[in-house]
Amino acid sequence: MSDSKPTKQETEQADFFLPDLCQAQSILFLVLIAELLVLVQVLYASSFFAFDWIALGLTSLFVQWLVLISAALLCNIRPWLMKMSVARATIVAYVLILFITLTFSVIAEFLLYGYELTTKGWGRILRNLVVAVIMTGIAFRYFFLSHQLRIQEQAELTSRIQALQSRIRPHFLFNSMNIIASLIAIDPDLAEEVVEDLSVLFRASLDEATGEPVRLDEEISLCEKYLHIESLRLDDRLEVEWQVDVDTTATRIPLLTLQPLLENAVYHGIQPLPEGGLVTVGLKSRGDLVEITITNPVSDKEQRHERGNRMALENIRNRMSAVYGPDASLTTEQTDQHFVTRLLYPGTS
């Protein structure tokens, strides 16, 4: 139902341990680490009060050229490396980096010490190769462990989202079955229509078990089906007013996030009132965030929402936090006559 699923290329990139070295952030990280190692090496070879600035400059120039050219090469051949196994891709990348190190070391010897390689020259070249082997091994190990950690975190996040969703769905299913049961004896044709609406809701739920965001207009369409079912059960005591001030085709929301909030408004706000009432749903943009406000009346006899309502709100709060982190928030406010639920989250994919 959602068109936000990652492409095959994006999935392959996410599954590859070597980061995208075409990105400025990755390049900056490598440059800073390389310069720090150069500084430590030069500081160790000289004294603090007689620091060899010339050695620092020459060594930095040599090392940074190695780092930048190696990163550029790995950036360009990364799609090719992704088709290999981890072991083979590591060996190929290792060989390329060592070849670049050997080439630059030989060029540096010719430029700095003349065109005849001495024993000391070969020693410096061998030293550079050994250092390249060690530092590349440390870097690749770091990349591999970071990749495994990201996979584990993503798996835990997916499991957490599914667990939170599974705590919401039984409550929704139980209430929907009661609606259908109450309609069967009164109007079988209408009950069949309700079953069809319910099947659409659960088909969407099964299609998006991982909680991937969908377009906001799709979520609104599902909510309208749910509200149609509730309006039949409540004998038209339910009124809903939509105040939409956001591009619903460009804005996204995790599937079946708005519906449980509306369910709370209906069951804890409209249902206890003999005369019914109005549920107002406001959707608007606040910078890069989307604000959804749901306002429903409250009964004089029910000034505090029930435990089930608090649990449902906490489940949604945890689910949004799992998807968006601290950028998402779900708050509530109750006055003498109204209960207001306010959801704030990043609405772009």
Residue 148 domain-assigned (yes or no)? no
Residue 1 domain-assigned (yes or no)? no
Residue with tokens 């550029």: 72
| 58 lies in the same domain as 174 | no
Other beta carbons within 10 Å of 80: 10
Residue 42 domain-assigned (yes or no)? yes
Q: 31 is written with which tokens?
A: 């440059």
| 174 lies in the same domain as 61 | no
d(CA 109, CA 124): 9
| 112 lies in the same domain as 166 | no
Residue 247 domain-assigned (yes or no)? yes
| 107 lies in the same domain as 169 | no
**Which residue, 271, 221, 281, is CA-closest to 245?**
281
pLDDT of residue 17: 73
Residue ranges of the chain with per-residue pLDDT less than 50:
1-14, 167-168, 303-305
pLDDT of residue 222: 86
Residue type, 85: S
pTM listed for this prediction: 0.54
d(CA 212, CA 252): 9
Buried b (16+ CB within 10 A) or exposed e, 37-70: ebeeebeeeeeeeeeeeeebeebbebbeebbebb
Q: Which of 57, 89, 117 is the last residue of a domain?
A: 117
pLDDT of residue 331: 93
> Could you tell me if 229 and 179 are in contact, meaning their C-beta atoms sit under 8 angstroms apart?
yes
| 86 lies in the same domain as 175 | no
| 61 lies in the same domain as 161 | no
Residue 291 domain-assigned (yes or no)? yes
Q: How many distinct structural domains can be found in the chain?
A: 2
pLDDT of residue 161: 56
Q: Which of 97, 117, 137 is the last residue of a domain?
A: 117
Give me the CATH number covering residue 214. Answer: 3.30.565.10
d(CA 37, CA 26): 17
d(CA 60, CA 54): 10
Going by their DSSP bridges, the two strands 277-286 and 238-245 should be labelled as parallel
| 45 lies in the same domain as 97 | yes
The SS3 call for residue 308 is helix
Structural domain span for residue 161: 157-346
Q: Residues 6 or more apart from 309 whose CB is under 8 A from it?
A: 264, 267, 268
pLDDT of residue 48: 65
Residue 15 domain-assigned (yes or no)? yes
| 95 lies in the same domain as 171 | no
pLDDT of residue 340: 94
**Which residue, 104, 154, 167, is CA-closest to 131?**
104
| 323 lies in the same domain as 174 | yes
Q: 211 is written with which tokens?
A: 């909680």
| 93 lies in the same domain as 167 | no
Residue 194 domain-assigned (yes or no)? yes
Residue type, 250: A
Q: Which of 99, 117, 135 is the last residue of a domain?
A: 117
| 216 lies in the same domain as 289 | yes
Residue 2 domain-assigned (yes or no)? no
| 165 lies in the same domain as 296 | yes
